[in-house]
Structure 1
């Protein structure tokens, strides 16, 4: 009797069938994973598109409200803008001194 590298309990034809079934199972799993990832990507695109539209709408509303406020209260708007500019300049000066950029 010659020694063989195959398992003596499992015939060669059975190994081939088992391997084919395993390959088919792996391929189905990969196909399902790919389809699932494609669906998730499509959902992500749709969510991103909807979110971007909502942000554009909110920005448009805010811009319109700001323009209306400036038209209704021009002096107050000017004073607020000057105060904000002064605060930013002071903050930038403080940060610049801390980092040695004076």
Structure 2
């Protein structure tokens, strides 16, 4: 007896059933993947929103502290700002000389 081969051009009810089941399985898997991706995106968005709010709050708090310090110690703050500006200028000059921009 010769082995039978399925001809893809001629429909076979058993082959069609298996094909339909495979298609349904693929469609369910795709739907589940889409749902999982949407859920992960929503969670990521929420995490990002919460993190951004925390950063804004921390920045606001730090800015308030800096303003209070400047009000309490104006001369000291001015000297610190001048020293920081001088350090940045020296650093920029050094970097510029290394790259041949002077």
TM-score with structure 1 length normalisation?
Answer: 0.90
Q: Secondary structure at the match of 1:91?
A: helix
**Structure 1 unaligned spans of 5+:** none
- In structure 1, the residue matched to 2:57 is 57
TM-score with structure 2 length normalisation?
Answer: 0.90
Q: Distance in 2 between matches of 1:36 and 1:26?
A: 15
Q: Secondary structure at the match of 1:100?
A: coil
- In structure 2, the residue matched to 1:28 is 28
Q: Distance in 1 between matches of 2:50 and 2:85?
A: 35
Q: Distance in 1 between matches of 2:15 and 2:5?
A: 13
- In structure 2, the residue matched to 1:89 is 89
Q: Distance in 1 between matches of 2:6 and 2:25?
A: 23
Q: Distance in 2 between matches of 1:12 and 1:34?
A: 32
Displacement of 1:66 in angstroms is: 0.1
Q: Distance in 2 between matches of 1:6 and 1:20?
A: 16
RMSD: 1.5
- In structure 1, the residue matched to 2:71 is 71
Deviations 1:39-69 (A, max 9, x none): 0000000000000000000000000000000
Q: How many residues align?
A: 96
Q: Secondary structure at the match of 1:15?
A: helix
Displacement of 1:5 in angstroms is: 5.5
**Structure 2 unaligned spans of 5+:** none
